[in-house]
Structure 1
Amino acid sequence: MGLYVEARIRAGIGEVWDRSQEPQQHQRWDLRFGEIDYLPCAPGEPQRFRYATRVLPWLAVDGTGVSAGERNRPDGTRTSALRFASAHPLSLIEEGRGYWRYVPDGEALRFLTGYDYRPRWGRFGRVVDRLFFRPLMGWATAWSFDRLRLWCERGITPERSLRHALAELFARIAAVAATAALAPMAPVATISVLAATVPAVAAAALLLPPLPTTPAARRCLRRPPERAAGRSGSAAAPTAAAPTALLDSLEQ
């Protein structure tokens, strides 16, 4: 898979499953989707759904997908796989596939995803995807996973955590802007000091870790960890391998 994100969440597997599988709850924390709706399907068939992302106040890009899940695996984990596609001419994503895995790990849960997609618009689309869109999607996925973690662990709703993030972003920008605005008004003797202070404040605003109540993509793993076998020959913890058979069973 092209993109991988993993969050460690101190919550029960059932709670994380419900908040990521139920459309009305899922769309609250996932920055990538503004709307998720299940479509009618016959009993026993994979679940089809429609999704939409609002890129401008008056413009939404939509698509459809199909998903299937395994809630009672022998190893105690759960898995969900999906395929998705968009016929919208403004959607860079033409079609793709991915999975979610829910892996109990001591007192916490490893909630992870891997997914990849094919961009449209030919060579231009591939360049835009590699330089801009794919890094943005990876960041948005990780930020959203940490937003879900805050909801499950601390009871901070997705709406509240978004307000925290915007307030912190504004405070960081305001600190840099205020420092830069004071520089021209400073006495000549202190101009050199302020000249060095502005970059320092800007660096601090960029590099200081977010507050504990603010979602942060940096708290998530972005590459699959290597899981070594346990001591005395015990089995390794479940890996992040894609559920190939489940993915192959889905047809768009």
Structure 2
Amino acid sequence: MTGLYVEALIRADPDDLWDRTQQPARHRRWDLRFTDITYLPCAPGEPQRFRYATRVLPFLTVAGVGVAAGERHRPDGTRTSALRFSSRHPLSLIEEGRGYWRYVPTDDGVRFLTGYDYRPRWGRWGRPADRLVLRPLMGWATAWSFDRLRLWCERGIPPERSLRYALGETAVRLAAVVAVAKTVPAAGPAAAALALLLPPSPVTPAARRCRRRPPGREQGRTAPPALLATLPAATAAATPTASTVPEPS
């Protein structure tokens, strides 16, 4: 599968990591890409259908539906989950897509990685908007969220607190740049570059800590799991409107 790839090494109990990523109430706490995730009723043995929503603006929520399945116990010790998703919301640049998560145990922790891709909406206008804006933003948001999850698992920092740390650190850096620019205008660009390049605090999530390409030994041969091929298409007709999406508790 071509598209976006993100990987983080998380030193955590595999069962705890699985629960924090597979339970909707816990998943939406750390994943910046979602405001709400709600499981829909399904029969035993069927793939799990769900609704998702992302609040783009205070009064605008983009929603969609998906279908997912997981393999918690595999012969090689890894775990896998796969999903397909779609949205009928006219403001959603993502029309439909698919992806997977893998949990690979190592001596140092769990390699938690994802690969996903999607088809943009809006025809010839949507492709450049996706390439220049949405795709880089989605890659960054995925990596930032993975590091936020790592801090929760390794350091016990709740996602809500790590977000406050990130906002506070950003405000401090911005204030420092403004102060330098006012005092020595010629030094403003250098101060801005330094603010961007300085390493983040150990308690602040950072996308730069995550791998954005498969390791060299896996370049060109990172394939989606066979589980993904067994999933039916997400039923776009069931997509909720913004007014019917439940608020996160």
**TM-score scaled by length of structure 2:** 0.90
Cα distance in structure 2, aligned partners of 1:224 and 1:79:
17
Q: CA deviation at 1:195?
A: 4.2
2:196 aligns with 206
- List gaps (5 residues or longer) in structure 2: 234-249
Is residue 46 of structure 1 aligned with residue 47 of structure 2?
yes
Moved over 3 A (4+): none
Cα distance in structure 2, aligned partners of 1:195 and 1:43:
65
Q: CA deviation at 1:179?
A: 1.4
Q: CA deviation at 1:204?
A: 1.1
Pairing of 1:59-208 with structure 2 (within 5 A): 59-182=60-183, 194-208=184-198
Cα distance in structure 2, aligned partners of 1:41 and 1:123:
37
2:208 aligns with 218
Query: Which residue type is aligned with residue 20 of structure 1?
Result: T
Cα distance in structure 2, aligned partners of 1:43 and 1:111:
27
1:175-224, Cα deviation, whole Å (9 max, x unpaired): 01111222xxxxxxxxxxx3443222211111101110000000000001
Q: Could you say what secondary structure the match of 1:132 adopts?
A: helix
Cα distance in structure 2, aligned partners of 1:171 and 1:94:
38
Identical residues among aligned pairs (%): 73
Q: CA deviation at 1:242?
A: 1.4
Cα distance in structure 1, aligned partners of 2:107 and 2:73:
18
Cα distance in structure 1, aligned partners of 2:22 and 2:222:
19
Cα distance in structure 1, aligned partners of 2:71 and 2:84:
15
Q: Could you say what secondary structure the match of 2:217 adopts?
A: coil
Aligned length: 230
Cα distance in structure 2, aligned partners of 1:58 and 1:196:
40
Cα distance in structure 2, aligned partners of 1:99 and 1:226:
20
- List gaps (5 residues or longer) in structure 1: 183-193, 229-238
Cα distance in structure 2, aligned partners of 1:241 and 1:226:
14
Q: CA deviation at 1:162?
A: 0.1
Query: Which residue type is aligned with residue 231 of structure 2?
Result: L
Structure number with greater Rg is: 1
1:241 aligns with 223
Q: RCO greater where, 1 or 2, for CA within 8 Å and sep 6 or more?
A: 2
Cα distance in structure 1, aligned partners of 2:107 and 2:216:
17
**TM-score scaled by length of structure 1:** 0.89
Cα distance in structure 2, aligned partners of 1:45 and 1:71:
15
